[in-house]
Every structure is written in C-alpha cells, then in structure tokens.
Amino acid sequence: MGGFHSSSWRRGTLALALLVLLLRPAAGASQGRVATIRSVIDGDTAVLEDGRRIRYLGINAPERGEAYSAEATAVNRRLTEGRRVRLEPDQELEDRYHRLLFYVYVAGEMVNARLIEEGLAHLLVIPPNLRHYDQFVQLQRQARAARRGIWRHLTGPLKITSLQANPPGDDRSDPTGEYIRIANVIDEVVDIGGFGLADRHGHRYTFPTLALKPGYSVLLLSGRGVNLTDPRKQVVLYWQSEGPIWNNDGDTATLRAPDGAVVDVWEHRGRVARKSGS
C-alpha cells in the first residue's frame, strides 16, 4: 500500500525545493507564480522549460488513441505552448510519478476549466486537491447537457482511467502495487455496489455498496489489505487475492454494471495500455 502515499516528508521537501527553483514570482503578489510551458504532451500534461512535467489538477483528458485526444491536445498546445503561465497549487505539490500538480492560467483564464467546459476532459479529483471542485462540477454538468466533445459518446456513469499491471518490483511477493482506477464521470453521486470487474483470465471482483461523488475515483488494488472507504478521501479497496491479478504481458479489464451491461473496457498490452469502449 506504501506506493500510493506520495506525500512523505522527504518527497514533500523535495517538491518544495523544486518549486522554489522552477517558479519565479510574478510582478505583484496577486499574480501568483509564473513559468514557461516548453511543450505539451497531451490534453492534461505539459513540460516546463527546465524539463519537469506538470499534470493539470482536477481533470482527465482522453488518452492517445481515444476520441477527442487530438482535440484536447491541440487546445492545450494552442493556449499554453511557448507561453508564460501562472501556476496555482493545491494541497499536494506532486503526484506519485513526480509530476508537478497545478491549475494552469493563461492571461487570466484557467486552462483546466476551459478543457472541461469544451468537453475535452472530464472531472477527476484526488483528495485533498479540491480547490475548484464545485466550479468543475458545474462546468462538466453544462458540457454534458450540451453533449460537447467526449460527451457525445461517453455515457458513464463509471470509467476506467488507469491500470497499473506491471509495477516496479516483484508483484508475486507484493501484489498490492497493481491497481486499477475507476472514476465517476457523471455529475451525480453513484452507488458502485454491484458493479463488477474482470480480467481475461477469469478473476472477478464485485464492488461493495459505496457512494462515489462526481469526479471521485476508487482504487482497486490486487492482494490483501484493509479497505479505506472514507468518502472524503481517496477510496482504496483490495481485491483480497492471494497474488497478482493483471498479466504483465497483456490483459483486458472489463467493467460491468449490476445488470451485466459492459460499461467500459481497458486493454493493457505489455508496457502500453490502450483504451477501448467509452
């Protein structure tokens, strides 16, 4: 379980030192801190001028190969690439991949919010980073109602947003490094009880009754452990399996509704994870 708590004292201290070095105060305290975006990777990830990656807080844009991935990337690039931006932090300064976490502003406009508004990203929050949560929920509600961008095909209510099938180390001795993240992508609370997850080799998991707020997610870890179900925090559940679930060389995660209907499918192909379905 240790791999999921990235806010250790040492990493927090390192992140603070990096922020001091990377970010220059703007002319006037009210303007926050500024940096230059060197390049854009996709709709919610960019690279600062010194090479450090930045992950946009509160959103999840389509992955490469998914519908509207190119559009989300193009909008992010048009707004930020080569430009000075204001970076607003939340409670955590970096994620477990050592990416800096920020809300990104260009000429007073928040890019994170713009992407949700245009239907080029959905809300995805990881507590305690909730500073603009209410605003993002409202923007997503409007984008869904207007069927903009991803909402022309994404129906939800749940979506697989990531799968870690081959974590560092030997997952046979410690399978808890494996995880799959499933998010509530609609603007209503969803009871995930009865939803089921399966791999291609017959491992099956049925989610317990649990209310998931809009934009919140559940991490399902392989192996055994104590479930963390405080709805105000990141929900972490355990498969309670004896060993790893996901095949390192390739696997398929299928998420089904209580009535058996397929909700989402994630294809993992060795080192590359590819998404299919909504």
**Amino acid residing at 134:** D
Given 52, 55, 144, 181, the catalytic residue: 55
Write out the two tokens for 244.
């790893």
**Amino acid residing at 187:** D
The yes-or-no answer on residue 99 being catalytic is yes
In the chain the beta strands, taken as DSSP E runs, fall at: 24-25, 33-42, 45-48, 53-56, 59-60, 84-88, 100-106, 109-110, 122-123, 158-164, 179-184, 190-191, 196-198, 204-206, 211-212, 217-221, 235-238, 251-256, 262-269, 272-276
Q: Quick check: 205 and 190 in contact, CB under 8 A?
A: no
Given 63, 81, 88, 200, the catalytic residue: 63
Q: What angle do CA 37, 38, 40 make, to 5 degrees?
A: 80
The yes-or-no answer on residue 96 being catalytic is no
User: Which residue bears the tokens 């801190």?
Assistant: 33
Given 38, 53, 84, 99, the catalytic residue: 99
The yes-or-no answer on residue 55 being catalytic is yes
Q: Smallest Cα–Cα separation from 127: which of 15, 9, 236?
A: 236
**Catalytically annotated residues:** 55, 63, 99
